[in-house]
Amino acid sequence: DGGITQSPKYLFRKEGQNVTLSCEQNLNHDAMYWYRQDPGQGLRLIYYSQIVNDFQKGDIAEGYSVSREKKESFPLTVTSAQKNPTAFYLCASTSGQGRETQYFGPGTRLLVL
Amino acid sequence: QQQVKQSPQSLIVQKGGISIINCAYENTAFDYFPWYQQFPGKGPALLIAIRPDVSEKKEGRFTISFNKSAKQFSLHIMDSQPGDSATYFCAAKGGTSYGKLTFGQGTILTVHP
């Protein structure tokens, strides 16, 4: 089955700790995205990558970092600099020549201990 | 300029009724307007999308109405069912965004049986 997988489903972070959220896709999509979802605020773009070894900051990149070493993988690290990390994190990828339809993973809920 | 404003924040409809969600945008470079449906604890999934060269698109019980001059578009759900209860997001893409979507704040729809 083709799709996007995110792990873990739930993640707990302690103060001062960096945590990494996994995103893997087997759709052969070039572009991948990370969003943060908070109640009443929609989806806000953290980082996106159009091709391997290249990525750009989104609207709320502070306190986050990413890498894109493989086409299939786009991990997100929530660093200790992110003071309010509790949120639902969604990974997506796009298909098609116009890269319009975004396919989302099931999400990771990050909670702070 | 990049904002997409969505209303209402929440909506309660009786089974069989019509659900209407509205969105407004400012950036005239937007050229693709999708609607996403999200169930609790899941990632959003594309529901229906429209381009500004048409004023209406219908897929089953779901219709997008688009008003280019007013820079507004709306989702109509006919014969609403309890299974339609979900959060709905409008979004927009265009210009040099290369796949990047700008999302509205979301509408929580509840359909009572």
CB contact under 8 A, B105 and A42: yes
| Whole-angstrom distance, CA of residue A30 vs CA of residue A28 | 7
User: Considering all CA atoms of chain B, what is the largest pairwise distance in Å, rounded to the nearest integer?
Assistant: 44
**If you compute the radius of gyration of chain A from its CA atoms, what whole number of angstroms results?**
13
DSSP assignment letter at B83: G
pLDDT class for A97, splitting at 50, 70, 90? low
CB contact under 8 A, B98 and A99: yes
SS3 B82: helix
Give the tens place of pLDDT for each residue, A5-57: 999 999 998 888 999 999 999 999 989 999 999 987 789 999 999 889 999 99
Of A98, A102, A106, the CB nearest to B101: A102
Q: How far is B15 from chain A (nearest CA, A)?
A: 25
| Phi, psi angles (nearest 5°) of residue A37 | -120, 125
CA-closest candidate to residue B51, choices B76, B68, B36 = B68
Please say whether the beta carbons of A90 and A34 come within 8 A. Answer: yes
| Whole-angstrom distance, CA of residue A9 vs CA of residue A18 | 17
Give the tens place of pLDDT for each residue, B28-80: 889 899 999 999 999 999 999 999 899 999 999 999 999 999 999 999 999 99
Peptide bond into A39 cis (omega under 30): no
Lookup result for tokens 């773009």: A45
| Whole-angstrom distance, CA of residue B72 vs CA of residue B67 | 5
| Whole-angstrom distance, CA of residue B109 vs CA of residue B13 | 8
- Give the angle subtended at the CA of A31 by the CAs of B54 and B5, to the nearest 5°: 45
Q: How far is B90 from chain A (nearest CA, A)?
A: 9
Q: Work out how many CB contacts closer than 8 A connect A with B.
A: 61
* pLDDT confidence of residue B97: 55
Give the residue numbers in A contacting B (CB under 8 Å), as ranges: 4, 31, 33, 35, 40-45, 48, 50, 58, 90, 92, 94, 98-107
Residues from chain B that touch A90, judged by Cβ atoms under 8 A, are 43-44
| Whole-angstrom distance, CA of residue A73 vs CA of residue B101 | 20
